[in-house]
Structures are given as C-alpha cells and as structure tokens.
C-alpha cells in the first residue's frame, strides 16, 4: 500500500510536470554496491542468484539524480525478481565512450513476453495481460513511472524480451545532458578492486553527525562490537557493550540509556526475547534491532516484541546514523567533545580494524573447515552467520554474498553444495589475505 501511494504521488507529479529532479555528483560505485546489497538479499530470499556485472572502465563520478536513478534500478531489479521463478537476475553496468552514455541493463531468466505484451508494458495501470495481476500482483505503475523518470534524467528505457526465455530492460543515460561541461575531467575506475576501495572509502568518509547520549550495544560478535562502538564514539556517544540478551536486560534495567542496539541472534538470550522482557519490565528506552537476516518475518517479530527500529548487518553507516539522529540529541563538534578521544578523521582506526579483520580470516576459515570435517553443521551455520554480518562492513562484500549462499544451502541441507561453497570461501579469503591493500 505504501509503494502504491508513492507511485500514485509520483504519477500525479509527472502528469502535472512538477516532478523535482536534483542533478548532483554521484559516486557511481557507491550507489551500485548499495543497490547490489539490497537486491541480493531479495533475490536470495526467493532462491534466485543476483549478479552484478560491472564492465570497466566506468566513471568514478557521474552527474544525475541519485534518488531517482536508484528508484529506477531497484524497480527494474525488483520486477525481474518477481517474474523469475528460478535462475538468475543480472544488473549490468557499462560506459559507452563513443556516445558518452551510461548503460544499465537488468536481465532475467523469467517468464518473458510476446511483442504484443511488451507493447502494453509502459502504459499506466497496464501489465502484460490480466493473468499477470492475478499471479504476481502489482498496480502496473512501476514501469511507466520508471520510463518517465529515465526520460526526466535525459535518457531512455527500452525492452527486449522473449516468451519463456526472459527479459532485458536497458536504461541509457546521456551524460552530456548533465555533465555541466566536465566531460574532459572524468576520473575512471578500471577494476573491481578499485571499485571496492572507492566504495569502502565513500562509506568511511560519510559525514558523521555530532550527537550526545548513552547507547547500550548488545552484540556477541567481537568484530561488530569494535566497529559499531567506533561508529558511536566517532559521533561523540558514550557506549556500553554487552555480549548477550540476558546481560542487555540486566544492564538496561539498572542503567539509563537513550537507545539500545540489540543483535537479534546472541547466545544465552537472543534479541527478540531480551526486547520482550525489557518491555515487560516497563522499559521504554527505544530499541533498534540488528540482524544479518532482513526477512519480513524477522522484521515483524522484532516489532511485535517491542523494537522501534530494524537495522541490517553489515551496517550501512548512512541508515545507522539516521537512526541515531532520530533518538539522540545534537552534541558538540566531534573535535570539541572531550569525551571522544578518537581522531576526527573517519579513516583513522578503521584502517587498523580492516587490517585486523583480514589477518583473522585464515583462523576463521580453519575453524569452519574443522566444523565441516566433523559434520558439526550447527557450528558451521553459527560461524557463517557471524562472517556474513561482518564482511561488507569491512569493505569485503564478496564474503557476505558467499556466506548468504552457504546459509541457503545449509537451510536446504544440501551438503554437497555447502562443501563446494566452503571451498570457494577458502579461496576468496586466501586471495583477500594475500592481496589485501590497506586503505590509503
């Protein structure tokens, strides 16, 4: 209903020629990795594979509207996932040097369409045919609005589709429209490693709000404890850390906190039960649930238990600080806050944390391999869940994606697949360890 209302509002603005477009610099890798993380979770929930294929070189910065571009690509990827029962959804990005255009394509192995059905697709409140609405739902507005938004950004949206084979939606943006005469000054990203470092750097230099207050962090993973505590201290916040839900209940009842960050899965007592007990004790402190599983049932369980917010791991610093600003008061400048003795440079300390994390990967893989050899699948699942929740947070999204695949295979008890994926994990971690380049 929320999505439908937003679509209708966008439609009315488009028809009234009042849709606002903000052309600003976009860190392209940062935006694409944000979309990749979001869509990978959706695809895996349905048992699909989501592939992000970036064909280098691509510009480091482009001029466009980040909100609208993200809206377009998430809508196209979401549609592809909805209409694909099995197989793969691919988001491909490349730069056309001859025409100075960015090309984004979303390809699926779904139901496909006939030429007649394709002709109906970009009309408001229209879908391929009446059976589409019955089987898959939807209002028929998403693709029409996406096409209008692409044209507002100076581009065009086209479709190639074959019935029973799949569809390909292609967004072409003419960068000359929005480049503001800066074409000759383009900086390039030439490899996946450069893209990863660029995205990691953009994540780290995100503006840190200046806040004050006390936060209770309940988190059993030591890497996450250190990283999240650093994020809090960088903003000038006093943080108390506990390792399980039972400790969180005892500490929250006897102390005074402005916000509780509660991991959903912890030993002794998990976050759901801890939240429920706190509410039974009349504790009214806002609670933000943290989890590596962004499933609808997890969100509903958290809200039913009494949580106010829901944040996924790996932590997205933008969303994380948005939640902090919602519940904590503005504070002194980080440089002026005597409580915060850490450097104001967001790259300080993070650099050391990333190095320490990479150095521990061999030991982590050794533990996982030992659990696999002993067929201790519960222990394997626990290790993989922890690794999944930390990979992208340290700028290593390939670890998080592979751990997600392993979790799915474990849940389906596909041991052959688990063995193959664990071998891939060993190879990836070995490569990361050997080729790790600290942030500079």
Same-domain check for residues 225 and 320: yes
Q: Which domain holds residue 22?
A: 2-203
C-alpha separations of 332 from 186, 212, 294, 329 in Å: 38, 8, 34, 10
Q: Pick the last residue of a domain from 185, 203, 221.
A: 203
Helix (H) or strand (E) holding 64: strand 61-64
What's the confidence (pLDDT) of residue 319?
A: 83
Write the DSSP symbol of residue 208: P
Cβ 118 vs Cβ 161: under 8 Å: yes
The tokens for 127 are: 């879908």
| Cβ count near 115 (within 10 Å) | 9
Same-domain check for residues 36 and 102: yes
If one compares 385 and 389, the residue with the highest pLDDT of the two is: 385
Is residue 34 predicted with pLDDT exceeding 90? no
Q: At what angle do helices 415-435 and 350-373 cross, to 10 degrees?
A: 150
Same-domain check for residues 400 and 426: yes
What is the count of structural domains for the chain?
3
Assigned domain for 440 exists: no
Cβ 270 vs Cβ 261: under 8 Å: no
Same-domain check for residues 28 and 116: yes
**At CB < 8 A and 24+ separation, what contacts does 9-18 make?**
10/145, 10/149, 11/124, 11/141, 11/144, 11/145, 14/145, 14/148, 14/152
* Partners of 261 in the β-ladder: 217, 288
Is residue 141 predicted with pLDDT exceeding 80? no
Closest CA to 265 of 421, 383, 394: 383
Residue 65 main-chain phi, psi, to 5 deg: -100, 110
Cβ 284 vs Cβ 256: under 8 Å: no
Sign of the Cα torsion 149, 150, 154, 156 reads negative
Tell me how far apart the alpha carbons of residues 40 and 45 are, in angstroms, rounded to a whole number.
Answer: 9
pLDDT tens digits for range 263-284: 998 989 999 999 999 999 999 9
Most confident residue range from 13-22, 107-116, 343-352: 107-116
pLDDT tens digits for range 118-132: 877 777 645 545 444
CATH at residue 323: 3.40.50.2300
Same-domain check for residues 67 and 199: yes
Q: What is the mean pLDDT of the chain?
A: 82
Q: Which residues contact 181 (CB under 8 A, 6 or more apart)?
A: none
pLDDT tens digits for range 361-374: 999 999 999 999 99
Same-domain check for residues 191 and 325: no
Closest CA to 43 of 6, 91, 105: 91
**Roughly how many angstroms between the first and final C-alpha of the chain, as a whole number?**
46
The distance of Cα 16 from the centroid of its chain, to the nearest Å, equals 33
Q: Pick the last residue of a domain from 319, 343, 367.
A: 343
Same-domain check for residues 195 and 49: yes
CATH at residue 378: 1.20.120.160
Residue recorded with tokens 């993070």? 350
Q: What is the mean pLDDT of residues 215-219?
A: 96
Confidence of residue 438 (pLDDT cuts 50, 70, 90): low
What's the confidence (pLDDT) of residue 348?
A: 52
Same-domain check for residues 186 and 212: no
What's the confidence (pLDDT) of residue 136?
A: 42
Q: Which residues contact 440 (CB under 8 A, 6 or more apart)?
A: none
What's the confidence (pLDDT) of residue 334?
A: 43
Q: Which residues contact 149 (CB under 8 A, 6 or more apart)?
A: 10, 19, 68, 71, 72
In this prediction the pTM is 0.55
C-alpha separations of 416 from 306, 408, 419, 425 in Å: 40, 13, 5, 14
3-class SS of residue 120: helix
Residue 156 main-chain phi, psi, to 5 deg: -145, 155
Question: What is the bridge-based pairing of β-strands 155-162 and 166-174?
Answer: antiparallel
Cβ 138 vs Cβ 82: under 8 Å: yes
Q: Pick the last residue of a domain from 343, 361, 394.
A: 343
Write the DSSP symbol of residue 377: H
CATH at residue 95: 3.30.565.10
Cβ 183 vs Cβ 226: under 8 Å: no
What's the confidence (pLDDT) of residue 394?
A: 79
What's the confidence (pLDDT) of residue 389?
A: 77
Same-domain check for residues 231 and 213: yes
| Cβ count near 300 (within 10 Å) | 11
Write the DSSP symbol of residue 185: G
Same-domain check for residues 147 and 174: yes
pLDDT tens digits for range 3-21: 545 555 555 555 556 577 8
pLDDT tens digits for range 388-417: 878 877 777 788 888 988 988 998 899 999
Percent of the chain with pLDDT over 90: 41
Report the half-sphere exposure of 274 (CA within 13 A, side-chain side). 33
What's the confidence (pLDDT) of residue 337?
A: 41
Write the DSSP symbol of residue 372: H
Same-domain check for residues 413 and 379: yes
Helix (H) or strand (E) holding 168: strand 166-174
If one compares 394 and 346, the residue with the highest pLDDT of the two is: 394
Label residues 367-394 b or e (16+ Cβ within 10 Å = b). Answer: ebbebbeeeeeeebbebbbbbbbbbbbb
pLDDT tens digits for range 236-272: 999 999 999 999 999 999 989 999 999 998 989 999 9
Residues in the chain: 440
Cβ 331 vs Cβ 337: under 8 Å: yes
Same-domain check for residues 192 and 43: yes
Percent of the chain with pLDDT over 70: 80
Closest CA to 34 of 286, 359, 318: 318
């Amino acid at each position: 209903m929320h999505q439908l209302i937003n679509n209708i509002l966008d439609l009315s603005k488009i028809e009234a020629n009042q849709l606002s477009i903000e052309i600003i610099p976009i860190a392209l890798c940062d935006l694409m990795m944000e979309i990749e993380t979001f869509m990978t979770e959706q695809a895996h929930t349905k048992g699909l594979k989501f592939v992000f294929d970036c064909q280098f070189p691509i510009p480091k910065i482009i001029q466009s509207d980040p909100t609208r571009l993200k809206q377009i690509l998430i809508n196209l990827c979401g549609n592809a996932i909805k209409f694909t029962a099995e197989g793969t959804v691919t988001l491909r990005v490349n730069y056309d040097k001859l025409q100075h255009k960015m090309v984004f394509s979303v390809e699926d192995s779904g139901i496909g369409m006939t030429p007649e059905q394709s002709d109906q697709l970009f009309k408001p409140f229209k879908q391929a045919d009446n059976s589409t609405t019955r089987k898959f739902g939807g209002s028929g507005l998403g693709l029409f609005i996406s096409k209008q938004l692409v044209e507002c950004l100076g581009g065009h949206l086209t479709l190639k589709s074959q019935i029973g084979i799949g569809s390909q939606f292609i967004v072409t943006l003419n960068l000359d429209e929005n480049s503001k005469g800066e074409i000759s000054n383009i900086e390039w990203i030439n490899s996946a490693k450069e893209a990863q470092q660029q995205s990691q750097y953009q994540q780290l230099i995100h503006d840190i709000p200046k806040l004050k207050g006390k936060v209770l962090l309940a988190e059993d993973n030591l890497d996450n404890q250190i990283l999240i505590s650093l994020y809090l201290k960088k903003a000038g916040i006093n943080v108390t850390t506990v390792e399980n839900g039972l400790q969180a209940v005892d500490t929250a009842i006897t102390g005074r906190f402005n916000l509780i960050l509660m991991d959903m899965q912890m030993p002794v007592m998990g976050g759901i039960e801890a939240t429920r007990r706190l509410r039974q004790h009349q504790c009214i402190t806002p609670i933000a649930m943290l989890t590596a599983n962004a499933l609808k049932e997890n969100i509903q369980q958290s809200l039913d238990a009494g949580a106010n917010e829901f944040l996924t791991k790996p932590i997205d610093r933008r969303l994380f600080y948005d939640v902090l600003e919602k519940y904590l008061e503005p504070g002194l400048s980080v440089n002026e806050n005597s409580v915060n003795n850490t450097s104001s440079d967001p790259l300080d300390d993070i650099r050391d944390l990333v190095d320490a994390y990479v150095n521990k990967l061999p030991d982590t893989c050794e533990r996982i391999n030992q659990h696999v050899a002993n067929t201790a699948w519960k222990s394997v699942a626990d290790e993989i869940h922890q690794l999944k929740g930390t990979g992208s947070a340290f700028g290593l999204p390939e670890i998080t994606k592979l751990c997600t695949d392993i979790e799915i295979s474990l849940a389906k008890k596909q041991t052959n697949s688990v063995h193959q994926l664990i071998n891939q994990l060993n190879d990836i971690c070995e490569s990361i360890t050997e080729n790790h380049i600290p942030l500079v």
